Amino acid sequence: MFDVSRVQKELTECNRDKAISGVSIALYEGGSDLSHLRGTITGPVSTPYEGGTFLIDIQLPSGYPFEPPKMQFITKVWHPNISSQNGAICLDILKDQWSPALTLKTALVSLQALLSAPEPDDPQDAVVAKQYLQEYPTFVATARYWTEAFARTSVAIEEKVRRLVEMGFPEDLVKSTLDSVNGDENLALEKLCSS
């Protein structure tokens, strides 16, 4: 079993300055399992990801922190080192360059840095990487569009909950439905109406 006390300390430590760092970690879907977490990072300014909030699924292996955490984007993102299909990340510190002295926070901050500085020569998503190298303006436009379409929803999640509750749905149901469709308001509404 992994080091529970370290993870608890990490969570407290990380969330203490989340306003400044733009990085926070919570238990996944409000559960109680310390090995399944959800990280949040804000898109770095003056990048196509600015204004977006990106959710990251974090699974801690039993050997954590001596084995690297498993991280994957939940929010869809258009980036050469992140799979546009499933959110898999290509980052060295999550693989062979992981060090036990690194933390979840430092890993998330590295992901933020990766958003600012893609490495198209070591791509996870070949299509995106090709576009980044050959048609940079198209890449920027697509990345920005994806940020608008998928990463902004989670910012105003309270706003959406409020609107849907006003329509007469119970708050708990609204929250879980929004969660299940990754915060897409229209999909959630459809689902709520059909249920």
Q: Which residues bind other proteins (CB under 8 A)?
A: 3, 5-6, 9-10, 63, 65-67, 93, 97, 99-102, 106
Q: Is 90 among the catalytic positions?
A: yes
Distance, in Å, from the CA atom of 151 to the CA atom of 148, rounded to the nearest integer, reads: 6
**SS3 state of residue 179:** helix
Q: DSSP label at 30? A: G
Catalytic residue among 90, 115, 151, 161: 90
The structure tokens listed for 124 are 């996870």
In the complex, minimum distance from the CB of residue 62 to other proteins, in angstroms, rounded to a whole number: 10
In the complex, minimum distance from the CB of residue 109 to other proteins, in angstroms, rounded to a whole number: 12
In the complex, minimum distance from the CB of residue 169 to other proteins, in angstroms, rounded to a whole number: 43
Nearer to other proteins, 10 or 125 (CB): 10
Distance, in Å, from the CA atom of 93 to the CA atom of 133, rounded to the nearest integer, reads: 24
Nearer to other proteins, 2 or 22 (CB): 2
| CB burial string 112-130: b at 16+ within 10 A, e below | bebbeebebeebbbeebbe
Nearer to other proteins, 100 or 170 (CB): 100
Could you list the active site residues? 90
